[in-house]
């Protein structure tokens, strides 16, 4: 069975790429075509795989969040697995990463079959995340705090840029990553918010002290992903994070969202406990993998 692999370039290609992602990961929010377009940059490669003229898979090669490795994402439609499509996609993605100068690749898998596939090419587990899920019911807004104010980014758009400098940059090193993630101000605007009305900040005087909110899903508007939640160190232990999260949960109830979910890294026990306290239950476990480039096992 011959696999034809080509670069995704048109909006129709991007919709096809989205179709594969949704088929493979129906439980995760998929970026819209417009969001994918906004992420276009030198070195980022999006692929489509076809077998006998039928869409069979997709691929993505991009820089990782920490900028130290290439993120490789081959995906195969369930109807075309065990036919070599994933290997063909991974080969093209890995060769592109090497050409871009990377000597390490990263990937993530959510099921046993994908883990075994990745291990064939030298990937090993380095971290894991657990999904936490919360059904949305009657969610009253929390009482206004005395020491700070909760506002949406839609109400005060200028606070999102301040949140990057005053909350995001100081708290990114606290995330459980071997190498701290690197997020530019441009990435913060493009990738970390998609509806200002669903994103909230905590403000004390002229300072932003915390952020939390939701990433809305246009394909499944009844579900939303919990956005980056963080509080400055000196404000922790004062219920800022829980107040922000309860505010976003109340917003979800008011806007027809019936379920929210989040991914929490191993080691982030404080956030897991907070989510448990707020009524989240546990779901899928996702493994973070790494392998040196060039990948072993990719013989032509």
How far apart (Å, rounded) are the C-alpha atoms in residues 209 and 212? Answer: 11
Q: What's the predicted TM-score (pTM) here?
A: 0.92
Percent of the chain at pLDDT exceeding 70: 99
Contact call for residues 71 and 107 (beta carbons, < 8 A): yes
What's the pLDDT at 268? 82
Radius of gyration of the chain measured on its C-alpha atoms: 20
pLDDT confidence bin for 115, thresholds 50/70/90: very high
User: In the predicted model, what is the mean pLDDT of the chain?
Assistant: 95
Contact call for residues 181 and 66 (beta carbons, < 8 A): yes
pLDDT confidence bin for 266, thresholds 50/70/90: confident
* 31 pLDDT above the threshold of 70: yes
* 178 pLDDT above the threshold of 80: no
What's the pLDDT at 180? 76
* Helix, strand, coil % in the chain, rounded to nearest 5: 35, 30, 35
Backbone phi and psi for residue 16, each to the nearest 5 degrees, phi listed first: -65, -40
How far apart (Å, rounded) are the C-alpha atoms in residues 144 and 210? Answer: 15
* 174 pLDDT above the threshold of 90: no
* Cα distances (angstroms) measured from residue 9 to each of 15, 33, 40, 45: 10, 11, 10, 10
pLDDT tens-digit series, residues 125-153: 998 999 999 999 999 999 999 999 999 99
* Cα distances (angstroms) measured from residue 85 to each of 4, 8, 22, 47, 133: 9, 16, 18, 12, 32
More confident residue, 66 or 169: 169
Joined tokens for residue 285 = 């476990």
What's the pLDDT at 66? 80
* DSSP letter, residue 1: -
* C-alpha closest to that of 291 among 101, 109, 69, 100: 69
What's the pLDDT at 299? 54
The H helix count followed by the E strand count for the chain is 9, 13
Map residue 120 onto helix, strand or coil: coil
Joined tokens for residue 56 = 């069979």
How far apart (Å, rounded) are the C-alpha atoms in residues 85 and 200? Answer: 42
pLDDT tens-digit series, residues 218-261: 999 999 999 999 999 999 999 999 999 999 999 999 999 999 99
What's the pLDDT at 73? 98
How far apart (Å, rounded) are the C-alpha atoms in residues 292 and 296? Answer: 8
Map residue 131 onto helix, strand or coil: strand
What's the pLDDT at 175? 81
């Amino acid at each position: 069975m011959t696999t034809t692999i080509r670069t995704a370039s048109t909006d129709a290609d991007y919709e096809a790429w989205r179709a594969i992602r949704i088929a493979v990961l129906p439980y995760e929010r998929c970026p819209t075509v417009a969001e994918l377009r906004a992420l276009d940059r030198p070195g980022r490669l999006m692929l489509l795989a076809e077998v006998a003229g039928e869409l069979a898979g997709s691929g993505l090669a991009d820089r990782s969040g920490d900028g130290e490795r290439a993120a490789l994402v081959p995906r195969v439609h369930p109807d075309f697995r065990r036919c070599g499509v994933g290997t063909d996609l991974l080969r093209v993605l890995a060769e592109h990463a090497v050409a871009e100068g990377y000597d390490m690749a990263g990937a993530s898998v959510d099921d046993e079959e994908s883990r075994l596939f990745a291990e064939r090419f030298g990937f090993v587990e380095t971290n894991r995340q657990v999904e936490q899920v919360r059904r949305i019911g009657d969610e009253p807004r929390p009482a206004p705090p005395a020491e700070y104010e909760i506002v949406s980014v839609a109400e005060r758009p200028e606070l999102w840029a301040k949140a990057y400098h005053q909350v995001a940059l100081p708290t990114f090193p606290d995330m459980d990553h071997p190498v701290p993630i690197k997020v530019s101000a441009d990435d913060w605007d493009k990738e970390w918010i998609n509806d200002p009305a669903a994103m909230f900040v905590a403000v004390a005087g002229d300072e932003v002290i915390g952020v939390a909110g939701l990433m809305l899903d246009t394909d499944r508007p009844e579900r939303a992903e919990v956005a980056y939640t963080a509080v400055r160190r000196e404000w922790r232990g004062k219920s800022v994070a829980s107040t922000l999260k309860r505010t976003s949960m109340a917003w979800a109830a008011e806007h027809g969202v019936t379920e929210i979910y989040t991914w929490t890294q191993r080691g982030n026990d404080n956030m897991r406990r907070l989510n448990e306290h707020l009524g989240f239950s546990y779901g899928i476990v996702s493994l973070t993998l790494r392998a040196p480039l060039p990948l072993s096992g990719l013989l032509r």
